[in-house]
Amino acid sequence: MIEVWGQAPDGSDVQRITLKRGGLSATVISFGAILQDLRLEGHASSLVLGFDTLEAYTKNPQYFGAIVGRFAGRIAGASAEIDGVTYPLDCNFIGKHQLHGGSDGASFRNWALEEHGPDFATFTTILPDRHMGFPGAISLRATYRLLEDATLQLDLEAQTDAPTLCNLTSHNYFTLDGGPDLSHHTLEINAARYIPVDDEGIPSSGVMDVADSAFDYRTARALAEQNQIAVIDHCFCTGTKRVAERPVARITSNQSGLALTLSSTEPGLQVFTGSTLTAAAPFAAIALEPQGWTDAPHHPDFPSAILRPGQTYLNRAGFAFGKA
């Protein structure tokens, strides 16, 4: 089902479409290519946080359900060097850094609904040369597809006409029981290393082993320990380059008995437990964001985030739901 769900700030129609297959139903909107609602047959509440109004999404300071880019995460100092040229970027985070592609990043643009069917929808948009300071016009494509085994598959693709940065992700906040917080959730991450950050979310000391740290989730652990939910807003290093899709993380709820297994092609996974949420209660849900490593342009030893003409960027993620 497709409907016009109001107008974007630029006056264009925002389209909303509902997809169904394999026990899942998903509602996506063209603004920000956002996943508004995701439901599993037999489970009462939505599996993701969302808003009931378009106006809330046009503001959306915490990127609920949006596709973010052209560079997800932070870029320190709101500048980046590509092939010896330094590009000043839109500075939209605490007056010092760039976050999620800038103040008019992909998440705040009304994408075109290019193709759709009962169980899939493809959205496209083009970010022009020097948009938010980045060189090169870049074309973006996001395809949501429901599979038979209660899996939501998301493909994020990009092509450019000049060397640029590209690091896309989906910014969904998951809750498997609809409870007030993550008290009943466990987390497992297939990563032996993570990136420590300072108070501004900027890498502070390279890459570190998770062993003997608070960030060792190689074995499933409760997110709430000693009545305190873990504060996580870090990139976990699930690899060193883009590879074939493989499982990288799993969350469960011992209250609902549900599990979410995330598979990804990406070398990193940004995990945010919602400690600073304001549009919902703190710790109401967990964001699992498959992407490249944070602030990669300033770290030559990190996997490169440069996309060149003739290349196709493809970030594929699978969100599979089932019993814990």
DSSP three-state, residue 33? coil
Phi then psi for residue 118, to 5 deg, are -60, -25
- Spatial separation of the C-alpha atoms in residues 27 and 12, rounded to whole Å: 19
Query: Residues 6 or more apart from 193 whose CB is under 8 A from it?
Result: 207, 208, 209, 210, 236, 237
Instruction: Reply yes or no on whether 234 is catalytic.
Output: no
Decide if 132 contacts 101 (C-beta within 8 A): yes
Going from the C-alpha of 306 to that of each of 72, 136, 231, 300, 309, the distances in angstroms are 13, 11, 31, 11, 10
- Spatial separation of the C-alpha atoms in residues 31 and 16, rounded to whole Å: 9
Tokens of 272: 């945010």
DSSP three-state, residue 256? coil
> Residue 301, class by beta-carbon neighbours within 10 Å (0-12 exposed, 13-18 middle, 19+ buried)?
exposed
Q: Of residues 157, 188, 266, 289, which has the active-site annotation?
A: 289
Decide if 188 contacts 221 (C-beta within 8 A): yes
Q: Which amino acid is at 66?
A: A
For residue 315, the Cα-to-chain-centroid distance in whole angstroms is: 11
Decide if 231 contacts 275 (C-beta within 8 A): yes
Closest CA to 67 of 123, 4, 133: 123
- Spatial separation of the C-alpha atoms in residues 252 and 18, rounded to whole Å: 26
Instruction: Reply yes or no on whether 171 is catalytic.
Output: yes
- In the chain, count H helices and then E strands: 1, 29
Q: Of residues 97, 100, 131, 171, which has the active-site annotation?
A: 171
Q: Which residues are catalytic?
A: 171, 289
